[in-house]
Amino acid sequence: MYKRFLIAIALIALVSCTGNKSAFDPSNVADAAKNEVTRVEPLSWWVGMKAPLQLLIQGENISEYELSIEGGSGVSVKEIHKADNPNFIFADITIADNAQPGTYYLLFTKGDKCIKYQYQIDTRREGSAERKSFSTADMIYLIMPDRFANGETSNDSTDDTADKYARNELFGRHGGDIQGIIDHLDYIASIGATAIWSTPLLEDNQPEHSYHGYACTDYYHIDSRFGDNELYCKMVEEAHKRDLKIIMDIVPNHCGSAHWWMQDTPFDDWYHKFDTYTGSNICFSSNMDPNASKKDLYIQESGWFDKSMVDMNLNNPYTLKYFELWAIWWIEYANLDGFRVDTYPYNEKEPMAEWCKTIMEEYPNFNIVGECWTASIPQLAYWQGGNDNKDGFNSNLPSIMDFPLRDAIAAALPNNNPGWGQGMTAVYDILSHDFVYHDLSKMMIFAGNHDTDRIGDVVKKDPARLKIANVLLATMRGYPQVFAGDELMFVSCDLGMGHGGLRVDFPGGWPGDKMNLFTEEGRKAATKNTDGLDVPKGQADELLKHFTTLFQWRKGKEVIHNGKTMHFITRDNTYAFFRYNDTDKVFVYINNSLEPKQIPWDYYSEINEGLGEGREVVSGEKMTITSETVVAPKSAIVVEY
């Protein structure tokens, strides 16, 4: 039933205002075109929502019109707010709990003229407010759609978008789309993923470099080169059939310079303006530093992310409300399971705390993870909601991305001769700071994503160390995220080209690809190629089997989801830890050195007492560990008891 208001189509007609059913007056057609209502957002709404509805309405001199509502009962105009621009009004709409779902009409009247605009008020899905979200039980598979799979070649370039198909260019559009994701949902589910985080799919109509989607130009419509709103909803439905959750990547901090409102802006302070281009100083510490100047904080949160990415002013209450309702609309409309928020600390922190609070009040079980890219553990902890911050600030943001752990893994794994505090000791050290965090279960852990170096590049194309990375992600606290292709050790096609080089296409996702890594046959035949794979023949499939075994096992392992951690320090590039609860234990031993290592089993006596025979998870074989047990160089064991 949600398809019928996919894009809340406006039916605009000029009628006499002497009565709602009066005849059309053809003499006023020219005025109707001149005063046409060009935009109403959100596109639709529902009965029973907690967040009050405020409509952004755009139309030439629309502020000169009176607004009323015609249709069923229980829906009315509460208050009209005029913007700085006469082409906009913001209308507070009251929807009673007993309002009738259905089609309503916004009636804009001026003298004897009336513009009639269709608006849908619908019924919510059963249990929508109580929807569950992603958690420690999940493994999140990160997809950059343009580089994943091209399921519909007819939309590679579209008439309504500027940046055209150019697969031969690293920063061009390669043609991946929503249909390509749908076509490979079975593959994603088969490798142990339980959730998908896709980089933004909303319209990004920038003239160039639009493939990544982070410069949105229309917050309510899917980019036509990816598909449309209906196809996006189909993707969510198909994912749910396979027990895959969908996490939407959203960007309230900035829009693209080609966004429609840059030509017709509601308020002078809708976004941040400077006499000359001013980028953010990226000084996140100014948010919590007691010594920071107000000027530094202002430039940090108000400076633009990039010359093509306009910084939104969330201190404007109408801008903030717009982004609150937009986020809620997509959750309700597309039946989403979570959000990932890009560039979280770049936003004004108090308005964003209100943004999070509004969403969590509407959906108490929802999860939102923020990209708070900092190597400082105290600064990262500051952004997690509920943290005991000295200044009393509460972000209300449930989850954070664990960049310090990612940095430690990236530094440790390729290190053959670590000095003091280096190698696997660096990973130990990061977890020793867990006392700083408010909620360890609400932390996304990862070895790489679309913005960092590929883990395959980090481990210098060493399959053994890639497997160690996978063991860490599958067994440590928090919930893991894996970038598409890392399960097969994708590497950058050109390390010197940054993002364009590491965001390689997934071989087999395009018609005519010579190699198909989505299939077992293709993986067994795969070898080095220019598309970003660099493994000996047959090893891609062996890597995937190792990966799949770990993450399929993890799905049902409660002690990994919510158990405690006890770890043990060494200085020989090894790392040992237990995950445990009242009934189960899992032992993990990492030998990242170039020599065989005996497990110092007696050293772990405070937790391993009574542990006899266990099962090594990857091999499936029974295993009894003693102080004579040897672990091969650059390898790991995971033993469950």
* Catalytic entry in 203, 249, 371, 402: 371
State yes or no: is 70 an active-site residue: no
Distance CA 546, CA 561 (A): 20
- pLDDT tens string 584-608: 999 999 999 999 999 999 999 999 9
Task: Give a yes or no: residue 465 inside a domain.
Answer: no
- Is 428 part of a structural domain of the chain? no
pLDDT in tens, 427-467: 999 999 999 999 999 999 999 999 999 999 999 999 999 99
In a domain, residue 414? The reply is no
Q: What angle do CA 557, 559, 561 make, to 5 degrees?
A: 75
Active site residue 342: yes
Is 600 inside a domain boundary?
yes
The single-letter DSSP state of residue 276 is S
- CA dihedral (444, 255, 397, 567) in degrees, to 10, reads 20
- Has residue 195 been placed in a domain? no
What burial class does residue 373 get, using C-beta atoms within 10 Å of its C-beta: 0-12 exposed, 13-18 middle, 19+ buried? middle
pLDDT of residue 537: 77
In a domain? residue 480 = no
Residue type, 318: Y
Query: What was the pLDDT predicted at 36?
Result: 84
Q: For residue 48, what is the domain's CATH number? A: 2.60.40.10
> What's 604's domain CATH number?
2.60.40.1180
> Domain limits at 630?
563-640
Spell out the alpha helix ranges (H) of 432-567: 455-458, 463-475, 499-502, 520-525, 539-555, 558-562
Residues 6+ apart with CB under 8 A from 302: 272, 278, 280, 311, 313, 348
Domain boundary among 93, 108, 125: 125
Decide if 218 is inside a domain: no
pLDDT at 496: 87
C-alpha distances in Å from residue 155, one per residue of 6, 225, 227 = 19, 5, 7
Domain presence at residue 53: yes
Residue 3 has pLDDT above 50, yes or no: no
SS3 content of the chain, % helix, strand, coil (to 5): 30, 25, 45
Specify whether the CB–CB gap between 455 and 445 falls below 8 A: no
> Is pLDDT of 8 > 70?
no
> 184-203 pLDDT, tens per residue?
999 999 999 999 999 999 99
Residues recorded for the chain: 641
Strands (E), 342-418: 368-370, 399-401
pLDDT of residue 21: 31
Q: Which of 360, 380, 401 represents a domain boundary (last residue)?
A: 401
Arithmetic mean of pLDDT, 347-362: 98
In the listed set 101, 125, 149, which residue is the last one of a domain according to the structure?
125
Enter the DSSP assignment of 314. Answer: T
Question: Could you tell me the pLDDT band of residue 35, with boundaries at 50, 70 and 90?
Answer: low
Q: Is 258 helix (H, G, I), strand (E, B) or coil?
A: coil
CA 530 → CA 53, 490, 495, distances in Å?
Answer: 51, 11, 12
Q: How confident is the model at residue 5 (pLDDT cuts 50, 70, 90)?
A: very low
Instruction: Say if pTM beats, i.e. exceeds, 0.75.
Output: yes
Overall number of domains in the chain: 3
**Dihedral over Cα of 519, 522, 528, 532: its sign:** negative
Region class of 96: left (phi > 0), else alpha (psi between -120 and 50), else beta: beta
Residue pair 298/325 in contact (Cβ under 8 Å)? The answer is no
CA dihedral (577, 581, 586, 592) in degrees, to 10, reads -20
Among positive and negative, which fits the CA dihedral 103, 118, 2, 327? negative
Asked whether the beta carbons of 344 and 370 are under 8 A apart, the reply is yes
**3-class SS at 53?**
strand
DSSP codes of every residue in 396-409: ---EEE-HHHHHHH
Is residue 32 pLDDT above 50, yes or no?
no
pLDDT, tens digit, 9 for 90 and up, residues 511-559: 999 999 999 999 998 877 655 677 777 789 999 999 999 999 999 999 9
Average pLDDT over residues 92-112: 96
Which structure tokens are listed for 63? 């502020």
Cα-only R_g, the chain: 27
CATH number at residue 283: 3.20.20.80
Residue 193, classified by CB atoms within 10 Å of its CB into exposed (0-12), middle (13-18) or buried (19+), is buried
And the tokens for 331?
């959750």
d(CA 55, CA 464): 55
Do 255 and 389 lie in one domain? The reply is yes
* Per-residue confidence (pLDDT) for residue 530, from 0 to 100: 54
DSSP state letter for 625: -
pLDDT tens-digit readout, 298-329: 999 999 999 999 999 999 999 999 999 999 99
Residue of 146, 342, 457, 513 marked catalytic: 342
Listed residue (596, 595, 597, 577) closest to 587, CA to CA: 577
